[in-house]
Structure 1
Amino acid sequence: MHRLLTLLLTFSLAEARPWTDDVMYFVLTDRFHDGDPANNVPAGSDPGLHDPAQKDVRRYHGGDLRGLELAIQSGYFKDLGVTALWITPPVRNVWKSGPGGGATGYHGYWPQDFLDIDPHLTSATSLKGEPYPDSAEGRMQHYRDFVAVAHSMGLKVVQDVVLNHAGPVFFYDADGDGSFDHDRHDEWEQPFKRDGYHGNSVWGDIARWNLRRTQPDGPRELLGRKIATRGVLADMAVYGRKGFSGGSLGMNDGEQLECDFHSLRDFWTAPGSGHFDRLVNEFVEIHAFYLLETGVDGVRIDTVKHVHHGFWDAFTERLRKRLGPAAKDKLIFGEVYDSDPEILGRYTWRNDWPARTDPGLDGVLNFQLCDAARDYLRQAGEAHGHAAGIEKAMKTLSLDSDAGRPLFNPNPGLDGKNSREKSITFIENHDALNRFRVAGITAERSDLAQALVMSLPGIPCLYYGAEAALLDPESRPGDQSENGRRTLFGRDRALTPASARKTASFRTIARMAALRRAHPALRHGSFAPLWVDAPDSAEDDGIFAFTRGTASGGLLVLVFNAAAAPRTPTLPAAGFPPGTRLAALPVCGESLEKNIEVSPDGKLRPRLAASSAVLLHVPTSASRPK
């Protein structure tokens, strides 16, 4: 009965709201809120891996599913206007890596058991006080309940998944003594071996760090369902064991497909391998379970370009087939960490194109647009860049590639939407890009960035803390570090859900979400650049204006001012005739006027405050543009 209710609620959510209507919120679960301190040091784990002060970004801070559940129930995300939660991988991780103090797997990207939820995240009892079994079954029950709580408040759940690697589940026995000398760097990492592989790999067995052989090692039964896993991930033969090359992380020459990620153990995903079909099928079985049995609505796939393209062909096709009718409502998007549109768009196509033209991934995170938006808005102090890169990134979505096809696949997926429509628009994340607001970046500039993300085409994705303009004071523009991965609602209570709701940043995002709901053009309308500040004029410095429109929903004009001073630019009227009166709706920052009229010479001259944005539109009863 529980599964039936979960499926019915998931079905109604997806049927009522396409993904292009969603506002996504990406949260590092460990860094949101510690809703249950009892799980901070799981039984038998190393207590030194947890930082009670929540200051050391390399250790666990205590955020968990209960912290998210409490926020969901309080209406926090609903009030913000968020409709989909993307959470970091919830599966059981290796908890420590590296010699000495090392780092921890608080973020979830070091999987050890793909069919168990990490005990740092789960509670002993449900929100109603009902006990869960103290086992993988109980932890999975809590995860299923978490998804159901989200669904009950109209929130979809996107689960981050890792198929490129496992955590540091084995070591390289560099000295040949048969034991893991974990203070030796060369037993965690070996240099990259292009030909052959390192034959000295040995499964780890350190319980206090959960550093042990990958699971599942055979069939499982969870939530009353038999899962036909075959122990493929527990077979050393499916790992490349080639060691690590530091330069490989940014390469596209094939080496990035073969290396470990530091001490993370790379799965060998080449289509020609003897285990290829078994590996694909194992991952399909695992992720079909999450999508069908726990009610998860979609998956975000980590490290896409570090896996052979042919693997994604097989995985996405077999997973969709396994999901059956539910597949059309499940979103499968990926992280292709690259701003080159040739590389980004490649994975929206199958590797066997042109024989097949249907989509590979439904969409990808738009790193090209992210970089361009940061160039425009993320300059030290009150400076600003130029928005021409944003115009180029938006145009790129419809351009052809050197391969003789569009860069991004225009063919619709099972839901009738294509990869351009399901491109994920964002301006900050947990990777090297990190938090938008660092030293020298004002809260007002951060708010303007979030408003831009929610105004442009694609599925907008906020990064946890954006709603409070969360600051990373230790970093500056251009730095690459983990410093931005701070706890949002910490034990010091410097910020609480109640105080976050009162910030200008929260109000800006909530207002923009309301505008998206009210104006279909913001969700799935066309995009056309209207004005990018000209080099020979000072009056439009920092200005970026564009239109969004639909045939039935009218035309919207959005004007952004990134300058630290007011601006009154002279803009084309976007087809509105002289005398047309447009309502001026505040998007971000101070509002200087409520209405604006197209001048006799056919121009728009809106007055904008510093670091502000405005939406201009003709009320329904007024005239339409030509």
Structure 2
Amino acid sequence: MDVPNTRSKLVDDAFAENPIVYFLLTDRFCRGGGTPPSRAAVNDPGTFHGGKFAGVTRRIQEGWFNALGVNALWISAPYEQIRGWVASENDEFRHEAYHGYWPLDFTVVEPRFGSRDDFKDMVDCAHAHGLKVILDVVMSHAGYPDLATLLAFVPDAVLPGWENATPKDYKSFMAMDTVRMAKWWGPEWVRAEIDGYPDGGDDDLTRISYGLPKFLTESDAPVSLPAFLRDKPDTEAIHLDDTPVRGYLISWLCAWVRRYGIDGFRCDSVKHVDGRCWSELKAAAGEALRQWRAEHTPDVDDADFWMTGEVFGGGIEYARHYDHGFDNLINFRFQGEAKAVFRNVDMNSAFSRGMAWRRLDKLYARYADVLSESRHNVLSYLSSHDTELFDRAHLRNAATALMLLPGGVQIFYGDESGRKESDGVSTLTDACQVARSDMNWESIDTALLEHWRKLGRFRAGHPAIGRGKHIRLSEEPYVFARMHGATGDTVLVALGPGDASIEVGALLPDHATLHDAYSGEWFDIDDGILSFRVDELRLFELAPSLARSSGRLAA
């Protein structure tokens, strides 16, 4: 599919105030040649599928993200993951670290995604297209000690016959005693369900979740480099004097910022990490980014390093985690709230549709009340790799609801294209795998994509949408305004169908001209009244007369 190959003029420089973040799992997004990742067998939903950094670069070059109005890419963790697999929940399939949450070596690139040069090319290309790059990072836990990883670094912990291990019996081929596993991370680095290692506790900070080795981020004791990293030939990890566990993790993560100019982090499992970690990471990453910019973009006055965090179940209210350096937290509640807006709704019924818009207006008003003048912000989403895909039957209307929502927004790869769930895995106990299917490059829903693009570009050009005061002007058709006092930005939005004559004299200058960014049409305000017909959607923005006479918006 051909898409514009231009840098979007609508990218908002005040990114923290108007984040429009596209999240992709590198492994599931695109191969280097631009083709979809390989279609895995039904019994292999958890394996690496072949997506590459080079595939992301190609889609940036083609303008895929700019066409959506996106101003940042959230990329799954790029550093090296455990080398093999572990059993999924209920031993249903082999689960590999394609998602980036089972780290092995934070200092080198995951080779299954490409080379260090491939990663640099991707980041440089994103920056050239006006996109910030946000890396998914983990500080709460290390990756599992799987068979392949143990064979590489603790071979005497693997018993004969391991080649025939299945998800149901693979642990029987591991001899993870205290002596052998001292060659791994070591008990001064992690809590683990291994003899001789510290046990997990009962609180968020010390609890071992899903059997993952838990970094001792709360400890102030200096540690030496883990044994396996000392012997690993390709690592860039070195011993740091008088440094606790969290100091190593911060150093390793900030090296990505200093080397490539990474603009921000999406921080995994925030509440399971000592708060000092996040504060120290934010300060160190900010300094690393300043150093990179001083060397590479000395004439560009850009924003500070940005961090958003995963506090599972969190909403839009201010939380204590903002005090530890977070600019933003992920809003886990909107997905359910959006489902409730369209629950039992027939959009072909005027009564049913009106009920949906009334629900949506209450939601918008509440979000704007909390976020329009606040010093914190959130990322809301429809679909997530941690939960589920949004109901595809309501995806078009849900896209409208998300992209006009107060606060920041996150587009999950494939929501814009109608990507379906993974084939044959809908009955798996691990429901997250259903949402992590391969990007559907060969079956794009072009009408849905164009809908997302119009909404995204409109949002990118108007801070009022994310930070403005919300004012309902009409219930049927549903019409509302957003006004952003700091910038003077005002937009009007109408959701149809229906005819409307709206009094806008108190909001906009009389005899002004409005441009509908959705249809491309122009409308005049006469004696304070804006009259129009809306079928699905109108996105009104104030436009100068010069733009009207030239038939396009002024740059």
TM-score by length of 2: 0.71
CA deviation after TM superposition for structure 1 residue 284, in Å: 1.7
Deviations 1:450-508 (A, max 9, x none): 344333344432111122122338869xx954212221146xx344xxxx6xx122222
Q: Which amino acid aligns with 2:143?
A: G
Match of 2:28 in 1: 31
Q: Which amino acid aligns with 2:260?
A: T
Contact 1:520–1:553, Cα closer than 8 Å, also in 2: no
For 1:270 and 1:532, locate their aligned partners in 2 and report how far apart those are by CA, in whole Å. 53
Contact 1:91–1:118, Cα closer than 8 Å, also in 2: yes
Contact 1:242–1:258, Cα closer than 8 Å, also in 2: no
Match of 1:331 in 2: 306
Query: Higher mean Cα deviation, 72-81 or 298-307?
Result: 72-81
**SS class of match (1:160):** strand
Match of 1:361 in 2: 326
For 1:341 and 1:458, locate their aligned partners in 2 and report how far apart those are by CA, in whole Å. 9
Match of 1:414 in 2: none
Q: Which amino acid aligns with 2:126?
A: A
Aligned: 1:306 with 2:272: yes
Match of 2:111 in 1: 119
Contact 2:257–2:288, Cα closer than 8 Å, also in 1: no
For 1:529 and 1:573, locate their aligned partners in 2 and report how far apart those are by CA, in whole Å. 11
Contact 2:86–2:167, Cα closer than 8 Å, also in 1: no
Contact 2:77–2:100, Cα closer than 8 Å, also in 1: yes
1:251-400 map, 5 Å: 255-270=203-218, 278-321=244-287, 323-324=289-290, 329-341=304-316, 345-350=319-324, 360-377=325-342, 382=347, 385=356, 386-387=359-360, 388-397=362-371
Q: Which amino acid aligns with 2:319?
A: G
For 2:481 and 2:287, locate their aligned partners in 1 and report how far apart those are by CA, in whole Å. 40
Query: Higher mean Cα deviation, 139-148 or 272-281?
Result: 272-281
Deviations 1:104-132 (A, max 9, x none): 2121111111112222111xxxxxxxxxx
1:559-598 map, 5 Å: 559-561=494-496, 566-568=497-499, 573=504, 575-576=506-507, 583=514, 585=516, 587=518, 595=523
**SS class of match (1:255):** coil
For 1:532 and 1:338, locate their aligned partners in 2 and report how far apart those are by CA, in whole Å. 33
Aligned: 1:426 with 2:426: no
1:464-475 map, 5 Å: 464-472=413-421
For 1:574 and 1:200, locate their aligned partners in 2 and report how far apart those are by CA, in whole Å. 76
Cα separation, partners in 2 of 1:504 and 1:164, compared to 1, 3 Å: same
CA deviation after TM superposition for structure 1 residue 268, in Å: 2.4
Cα separation, partners in 2 of 1:286 and 1:58, compared to 1, 3 Å: same
CA deviation after TM superposition for structure 1 residue 331, in Å: 1.6
For 1:81 and 1:577, locate their aligned partners in 2 and report how far apart those are by CA, in whole Å. 25
Cα separation, partners in 2 of 1:318 and 1:16, compared to 1, 3 Å: closer
CA deviation after TM superposition for structure 1 residue 28, in Å: 1.0
Q: Which amino acid aligns with 2:390?
A: F
CA deviation after TM superposition for structure 1 residue 594, in Å: 5.3
For 2:34 and 2:504, locate their aligned partners in 1 and report how far apart those are by CA, in whole Å. 57
CA deviation after TM superposition for structure 1 residue 574, in Å: 7.5
Contact 2:474–2:502, Cα closer than 8 Å, also in 1: no
For 1:317 and 1:395, locate their aligned partners in 2 and report how far apart those are by CA, in whole Å. 31
Aligned: 1:509 with 2:456: no
Match of 1:416 in 2: none
CA deviation after TM superposition for structure 1 residue 435, in Å: 1.9
CA deviation after TM superposition for structure 1 residue 141, in Å: 2.8
CA deviation after TM superposition for structure 1 residue 102, in Å: 2.7
CA deviation after TM superposition for structure 1 residue 165, in Å: 1.0
1:474-623 map, 5 Å: 480-489=431-440, 493-495=442-444, 503-522=446-465, 525-530=467-472, 539=476, 543=478, 545-550=480-485, 553-561=488-496, 566-568=497-499, 573=504, 575-576=506-507, 583=514, 585=516, 587=518, 595=523, 607-609=533-535, 612-620=536-544
For 1:97 and 1:397, locate their aligned partners in 2 and report how far apart those are by CA, in whole Å. 42
Contact 1:271–1:310, Cα closer than 8 Å, also in 2: no
Contact 1:373–1:390, Cα closer than 8 Å, also in 2: no
For 2:73 and 2:117, locate their aligned partners in 1 and report how far apart those are by CA, in whole Å. 19
Cα separation, partners in 2 of 1:475 and 1:595, compared to 1, 3 Å: farther
Contact 1:92–1:113, Cα closer than 8 Å, also in 2: yes
Contact 2:382–2:390, Cα closer than 8 Å, also in 1: yes
Aligned: 1:89 with 2:32: no
For 2:266 and 2:331, locate their aligned partners in 1 and report how far apart those are by CA, in whole Å. 13
Contact 1:450–1:462, Cα closer than 8 Å, also in 2: no
Cα separation, partners in 2 of 1:341 and 1:556, compared to 1, 3 Å: closer
Match of 2:93 in 1: 101
CA deviation after TM superposition for structure 1 residue 26, in Å: 0.9
Match of 1:60 in 2: 48
For 2:179 and 2:513, locate their aligned partners in 1 and report how far apart those are by CA, in whole Å. 69
CA deviation after TM superposition for structure 1 residue 348, in Å: 0.9
Contact 1:546–1:557, Cα closer than 8 Å, also in 2: yes
Aligned: 1:143 with 2:119: yes
Match of 1:460 in 2: 409
Cα separation, partners in 2 of 1:169 and 1:62, compared to 1, 3 Å: same
Contact 1:529–1:546, Cα closer than 8 Å, also in 2: yes
Contact 1:549–1:555, Cα closer than 8 Å, also in 2: yes
CA deviation after TM superposition for structure 1 residue 160, in Å: 0.9
Match of 1:133 in 2: none
Q: 1:155 aligns with which of 124, 127, 131?
A: 131
Cα separation, partners in 2 of 1:341 and 1:578, compared to 1, 3 Å: closer
**SS class of match (2:534):** coil
Contact 1:549–1:556, Cα closer than 8 Å, also in 2: no
Deviations 1:600-620 (A, max 9, x none): 8x88775433xx332234443
TM-score by length of 1: 0.64
CA deviation after TM superposition for structure 1 residue 161, in Å: 0.9
CA deviation after TM superposition for structure 1 residue 437, in Å: 3.7
Contact 1:97–1:104, Cα closer than 8 Å, also in 2: yes
CA deviation after TM superposition for structure 1 residue 87, in Å: 0.9
Cα separation, partners in 2 of 1:319 and 1:154, compared to 1, 3 Å: closer
CA deviation after TM superposition for structure 1 residue 292, in Å: 1.2
Q: How many residues align?
A: 472
Contact 1:92–1:117, Cα closer than 8 Å, also in 2: yes
**SS class of match (2:22):** strand
Q: Which runs of 5+ in 1 are unaligned?
A: 1-13, 41-49, 123-138, 190-198, 206-211, 214-233, 244-252, 351-359, 400-407, 411-418, 534-538
Cα separation, partners in 2 of 1:119 and 1:579, compared to 1, 3 Å: closer
Contact 1:33–1:67, Cα closer than 8 Å, also in 2: yes
Q: Which amino acid aligns with 1:289?
A: A
Cα separation, partners in 2 of 1:140 and 1:62, compared to 1, 3 Å: same
Between the two proteins, what is the percent identity of the paired residues? 24
Cα separation, partners in 2 of 1:305 and 1:546, compared to 1, 3 Å: farther
Q: Which amino acid aligns with 1:162?
A: V
**SS class of match (2:122):** helix
Q: 1:235 aligns with which of 186, 189, 192?
A: 186
Deviations 1:165-187 (A, max 9, x none): 1111279x9xxx96568768798
Deviations 1:295-318 (A, max 9, x none): 222211111122233332333234
Contact 2:54–2:118, Cα closer than 8 Å, also in 1: no
Cα separation, partners in 2 of 1:456 and 1:398, compared to 1, 3 Å: closer
